[in-house]
């Protein structure tokens, strides 16, 4: 089907003819009883409260996430381009430096000696188990990946 129409087949538009104005319904006057009730309703309805702190946190998290992705993309582009002296090991170490290190916050001086010792024990446990967590995340079974993807 060809919808092409030649310009010679089109009828010229008559721009001199005046169109009839479309009728518009008249606005009804507001009664005094309705006018007095309306401001009360507006005064009762509170404005929606937005939590600016949570929005700022969300924006900051998204910005950090985008920055990490941009760094990884730059590293991979340098690796693919071959323009620099970057090899696979250098790229892996550059990406490894972006992984956050576990941190243990030790209580300040008013804390007891037992609390500080407990924090030190927790720090040692975190360091011991960090290797297991990295290895588990690096070597995921295919069935686990399929299950995660199908659930998403």
| 101-131 pLDDT per residue, tens | 767 676 667 778 888 888 888 888 888 887 7
For residue 82, give its domain range.
52-99
Helix (H, G, I), strand (E, B) or coil at 42: helix
Answer yes or no: do 78 and 57 share one domain.
yes
In a domain, 83, yes or no: yes
Same domain, 127 and 89: no
Q: Is 130 helix (H, G, I), strand (E, B) or coil?
A: helix
Query: Could you report the per-residue pLDDT of 56-78, keeping only the tens digit for each?
Result: 788 888 888 888 888 888 888 88
Q: For the whole prediction, is pTM greater than 0.85?
A: no
12 inside domain = no
The C-alpha angle with vertex 85 and arms to 81 and 86, in degrees rounded to 5, equals 70
Q: What does the alpha-carbon distance between residue 136 and residue 118 come to, in Å, rounded to a whole number?
A: 27
Residues 139 and 121 in one domain: yes
């Amino acid at each position: 089907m060809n919808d092409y129409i030649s310009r010679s087949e089109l009828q010229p538009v008559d721009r001199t003819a005046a169109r009839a104005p479309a009728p518009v319904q008249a606005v009804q006057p507001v009664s005094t009883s309705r006018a007095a009730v309306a401001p009360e309703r507006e005064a009762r309805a509170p404005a929606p409260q937005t939590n600016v702190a949570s929005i700022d946190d969300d924006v900051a998290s998204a910005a950090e996430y985008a920055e990490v992705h941009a760094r990884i993309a730059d590293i991979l582009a340098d690796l693919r381009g071959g323009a620099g002296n970057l090899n696979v090991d250098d790229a892996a170490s550059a990406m490894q430096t972006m992984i956050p290190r576990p941190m243990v916050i030790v209580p300040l001086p008013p804390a007891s000696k037992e609390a500080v010792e407990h924090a030190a024990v927790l720090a040692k446990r975190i360091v011991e188990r960090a290797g297991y967590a990295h290895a588990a995340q690096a070597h995921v079974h295919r069935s686990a990946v399929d299950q995660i993807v199908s659930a998403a």
